[in-house]
């Protein structure tokens, strides 16, 4: 067992875990943050995306111990003080979700994608969003409304 300390959604946590524990397992099983989903465990689907120190990370393909001292944000910590993040709101407004399973990772990826675009002065259009979300699979929506949602969310962010 190894001790790991992180800030998760603004709260400091310390746990003794097996060194082989994945970050996704740590969040889901140790902290009960089940909004982070596991859809493939091979880094392909993006259901498990969280933010580590502000960057999106596929938590199914990272060991929790790698992030000792890091600050992690999951979907549960995305909204502030009980209000939704504009990207969450945009997904709801644009029917960017159906079963909801890919949705949390999709939103986390989208927030990072938009943030990066804004930092780099990239125009957030359909092409940019489709290319940028290539690492997130949705089987329900056909992406049509996800793309709409991300563009709308970007405007509101």
| Interacting residue ranges for other proteins, rule: CB under 8 A | 18, 20, 28-29, 32-42, 44-45, 47, 74-76, 79, 84, 88-89, 91-93, 95, 97-104, 107, 126, 129-131, 133-134, 136-147
Question: Is residue 39 a contact residue for ligand FES (CB under 6 A)?
Answer: yes
CB 147 within 8 A of CB 134: no
Q: Using CB under 6 A, which of the segments 25-33, 46-54, 72-80, 124-132 binds ligand FES?
A: 46-54
Residues with Cβ within 8 Å of 29's Cβ and at least 6 positions away in sequence, in order, are none
CA angle 134, 146, 108 (to 5 degrees): 65
Instruction: Tell me how far, at minimum, the Cβ of 136 lies from other proteins, in Å.
Output: 7
Burial of 99 (0-12, 13-18, 19+ CB in 10 A): exposed
Instruction: Tell me how far, at minimum, the Cβ of 58 lies from other proteins, in Å.
Output: 12
């Amino acid at each position: 067992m190894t001790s790991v300390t992180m800030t998760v959604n603004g709260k400091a946590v310390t746990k003794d875990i097996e060194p082989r524990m994945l970050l996704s397992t740590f969040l889901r099983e140790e902290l009960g943050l089940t909004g982070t989903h596991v859809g493939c465990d091979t880094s392909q689907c993006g259901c498990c995306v969280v933010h580590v120190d502000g960057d999106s990370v596929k938590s199914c393909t990272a060991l929790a111990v790698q992030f000792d001292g890091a600050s992690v944000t999951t979907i549960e910590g995305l909204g502030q003080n009980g209000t939704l993040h504009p990207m969450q709101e945009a997904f709801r407004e644009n029917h960017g979700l159906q079963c909801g399973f890919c949705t949390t990772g999709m939103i986390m990826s989208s927030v990072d994608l938009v943030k990066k675009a804004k930092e780099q002065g990239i125009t957030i259009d359909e092409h940019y969003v489709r290319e940028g979300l290539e690492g997130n699979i949705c089987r329900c929506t056909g992406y049509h409304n996800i793309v709409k949602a991300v563009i709308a969310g970007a405007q509101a962010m």
